[in-house]
Amino acid sequence: MKKKIYLLSIAIMLAGSASQLSAATVVTEPVSKEITLTDAQKEAKLEVIKARVEEIKAMDKSQLNKEQKKELKTELKTMKTQAKALGGGIYLSVGAIIIIILVLILIL
């Protein structure tokens, strides 16, 4: 019984540490204060981002030089992060999911 508890605790610690390592991000832009937007404003902002992405997809990129391509790439990355921030959602780490499953097993 002690061996099972020992192995289970090590598995939980490893799962928690792995999710913490993958969650590290590098922020290249200064962090600004969060501005709350209404749902209509969020939808309008998402539509503007979608329209710009479609415009970039329709471009003939073969005539662009290296710097212009790099600028387009960074613009697409920033728009992607903005769209994710506007989309919202709930994110659970692997460690949290394992803990939830273990609690459910103990309850049942």
Alpha-carbon gap, residue 108 to 105, rounded angstroms? 5
pLDDT tens sequence across 49-91: 899 999 988 988 889 899 999 999 999 999 988 888 887 667 7
More confident site: 98 or 88: 98
pLDDT value of position 85: 80
Alpha-carbon gap, residue 108 to 101, rounded angstroms? 11
pLDDT value of position 40: 84
Q: What is the pTM of this model?
A: 0.47
pLDDT value of position 23: 46
Alpha-carbon gap, residue 95 to 39, rounded angstroms? 32
